[in-house]
């Protein structure tokens, strides 16, 4: 360490992924009491830099922590990966909604190392007592993030590196996490996190801003905050002619009620997830599905997407047909374009971008059929609309999280379905990319007369066409009707 005041020195750090130069010649240093945020657009290398600083990926250049800090670095990934009781990670998407199969998932108590662990002084602020017997796979995003960080703290970190920790959390959960991170910084833990520019904890003193094909900019937090209002949001113009062409494929079917639920109840054992839900969605309706983490939103959607067997025990009509009246799950899925954080988590990331998008034509998690010429053109058209044409042959695991999300949005749109269910499609994206996707989703819904269910924890970030809301709390509908601006 050249300077005794420094706790971290980075010099000419570079990262390559296959033939792609992700980071090049990154240099900066942190002093005692400093904490670092990494920001930038989708695909700029935020996660790669965080991984390098955590010692999780290969890099060239120099990276040196003071003393023995590098012996106690703990990495907290954005998506929570864990094993089941069979000691494998072979979960499948619908497993969380199947009570029998969910029993193979490890509980919170077992994951943390025993029930006594949750009572430790270190973890008391996380209030994990009520979650101890819950399978990890059935936790909400907010609950999962609590458990994930609690587990990290059990390793007594001196450096805590977090990747997009606020993604997928509701307002209350984000505030809780801001507070916990600030408390950890006060205790002397070096905090490094990749995050959106609007979600930087108050303890952060330094910011490094990344942008593709441009030098990284390292600055003090105060200077970064001062420049934020003047940062331009560049938005690529929508190719309206191309959009008109891809939507000129008749989806088929005219429906009175796309979704109708009457007194719907869902429970697992003694735990009630949904209670007496009544909801009707007419064709062409555009709804915001709202509610805190754990309110029952994902379970509600699973009843619509034919992923939850409890649909058969309830009075549910989809596309004017009662569930359990002889239709197959594929009859339902062919009419729905779907994207969710869980789908991204369980999707085979060894698929190429082309394969992932093309699989949407067949409602499969992966491509197992030959693609015809006309279908191939549709894939390329949607990739063009989403700015991914040049990445068509790249594997999903070679893409940034934001690029993966755009690819799977193309998968949801490619068959021109009458119903779109988009569960946090802009999660973790920078403002420029998010604004572009919202404009595209809005144009698709208006031009194609789509029915839309849109989920977000940021109510002001939604397609303009969304004019109705259903809000859940603790499994009950507390608001349903017109959305007031």
Could you read off the pLDDT of 341-383 as tens digits, one per residue?
888 878 888 999 999 999 999 998 888 888 899 999 999 999 9
**What is the pLDDT at residue 21?**
87
Q: What is the DSSP string of 43-102?
A: TSSHHHHHHHHTT-S--EEEEEESTTGGGGEEEE-SS----BTTS-----GGGGG-HHHH
Cα–chain-centroid distance for residue 393? 23
Measured between alpha carbons, how far is 31 from 33 in angstroms, rounded to an integer? 6
CATH number at residue 217: 3.40.50.300
Residues 202 and 315 in one domain: no
pLDDT tens, residue by residue, 394-404: 999 888 888 89
As a 3-state breakdown, the chain gives helix, strand, coil percent values, each rounded to 5, of 35, 25, 40
Which segments in the chain show pLDDT lower than 70?
1-2, 4, 81-104, 228-236, 249-253, 485
What is residue 130's predicted lDDT score, i.e. its pLDDT? 82
Check whether residue 60 and residue 22 sit in a common domain: yes
- Helix, strand or coil, per DSSP, at residue 321: strand
Confirm whether 1 is domain-assigned: no
Is the distance from CB of 399 to CB of 42 less than 8 angstroms? no
Per the structure, the complete domain to which residue 164 belongs is given by 6-230
Q: Are residues 204 and 277 in the same domain?
A: no
Note the pLDDT of residue 217: 93
190 and 245: one domain? no
Residues 211 and 252 in one domain: no
CA atoms within 13 A on the CB side of 483: 20
Domain end, chosen from 204, 230, 256, is at 230
Whether residues 187 and 322 fall in one domain: no
Report field, pTM of the whole predicted structure over 0.95: no
Residue 21 counted as domain residue: yes
Confidence at residue 92, expressed as pLDDT on a 0 to 100 scale: 45
The answer to whether residue 346 sits within a structural domain is yes
Q: Is residue 179 part of a domain?
A: yes
Residues 200 and 164 in one domain: yes
Among the candidates 185, 205, 230, a domain finishes at 230
> 414 and 304, same structural domain?
yes
65 and 166 housed in the same domain? yes
Which DSSP letter does residue 57 get? S
- 220 within some domain: yes
Chain-centre distance of CA 173, in angstroms? Answer: 15
| Position 235 in a domain | no
> For residue 97, what pLDDT is reported?
54
For 259, the token pair is 């979704």
Angle at CA 262, nearest 5°, toward 422 and 339?
10
pLDDT of residue 342: 82
pLDDT score, position 250: 61
The pLDDT tens digits for 390-441 are 999 999 988 888 889 999 999 999 999 999 999 999 987 888 888 889 999 9
Residue 1: its pLDDT value, please?
58
Q: Are residues 311 and 420 in the same domain?
A: yes
| 374 Cβ contact partners less than 8 Å away, ≥ 6 residues apart | none
Answer whether residue 366 is part of any domain: yes
* Predicted local confidence at residue 91, as pLDDT: 46
Structurally, the chain folds into a number of domains equal to: 2
Residues 259 and 389 placed together within one structural domain of the fold: yes
Last residue of a domain, one of 202, 230, 258: 230
Residues 453 and 366 in one domain: yes
């Amino acid at each position: 360490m050249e300077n005794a005041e420094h706790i971290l020195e980075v010099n000419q750090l570079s990262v390559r992924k296959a033939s792609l130069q992700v980071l090049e010649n990154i240099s900066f240093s942190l002093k005692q009491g400093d904490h670092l945020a990494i920001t930038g657009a989708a695909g700029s290398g935020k996660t790669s830099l965080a991984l390098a600083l955590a010692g999780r990926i290969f890099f060239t250049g120099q990276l040196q922590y003071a003393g023995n800090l590098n012996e106690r670095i703990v990495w907290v990934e954005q998506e929570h990966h864990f094993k089941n009781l069979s000691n494998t990670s072979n979960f499948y998407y619908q497993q969380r909604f199947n009570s029998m199969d969910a029993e193979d998932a490890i509980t919170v108590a077992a994951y943390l190392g025993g029930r006594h662990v949750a009572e430790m002084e270190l973890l008391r602020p996380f209030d994990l007592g009520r979650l101890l017997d819950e399978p990890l796979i059935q936790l909400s995003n907010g609950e999962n993030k609590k458990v994930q960080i609690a587990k990290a703290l059990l390793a007594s970190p001196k450096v805590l590196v977090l990747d997009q920790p606020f993604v997928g959390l509701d307002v209350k959960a984000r505030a809780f996490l801001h507070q916990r991170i600030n408390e950890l910084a006060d205790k002397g833990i070096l905090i490094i996190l990749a995050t959106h520019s609007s979600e930087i904890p108050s303890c952060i003193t330094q910011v490094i801003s990344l942008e593709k094909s441009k030098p990284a900019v390292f600055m003090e937090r105060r200077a970064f905050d001062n420049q934020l209002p003047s940062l331009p949001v560049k938005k690529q113009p929508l190719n309206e002619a191309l959009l008109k062409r891809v939507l000129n494929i008749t989806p088929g079917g005219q429906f009175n009620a796309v979704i109708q639920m009457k007194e719907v109840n869902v429970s697992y054992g003694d735990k009630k997830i949904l209670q007496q839900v009544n909801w009707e969605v007419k064709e062409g309706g555009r709804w915001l599905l709202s509610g805190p983490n754990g309110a029952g939103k994902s379970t509600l959607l699973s009843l619509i997407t034919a992923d939850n067997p409890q649909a058969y025990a309830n009075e549910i009509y989809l596309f004017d047909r009662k569930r359990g009246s002889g239709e197959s799950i594929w009859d339902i899925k062919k009419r729905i374009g779907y994207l969710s954080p869980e789908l991204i988590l369980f999707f085979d990331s060894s698929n190429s971008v082309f394969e992932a998008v093309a699989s949407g034509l067949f409602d499969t998690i992966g491509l197992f059929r030959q693609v015809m010429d006309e279908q191939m053109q549709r894939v390329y058209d949607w990739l063009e609309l989403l700015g991914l044409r040049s990445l068509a042959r790249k594997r999903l695991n070679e893409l940034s999280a934001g690029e993966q999300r755009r690819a799977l949005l193309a998968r949801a749109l490619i068959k021109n379905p009458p119903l779109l269910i988009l569960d946090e499609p802009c999660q973790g994206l920078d403002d420029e990319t998010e604004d572009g996707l919202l404009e595209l989703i809005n144009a698709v819904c208006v031009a194609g007369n789509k029915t839309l269910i849109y989920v977000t924890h940021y109510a002001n970030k939604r397609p303009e066409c969304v004019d109705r809301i259903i809000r859940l709390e603790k499994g009950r509908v507390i608001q349903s009707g017109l959305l007031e601006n």
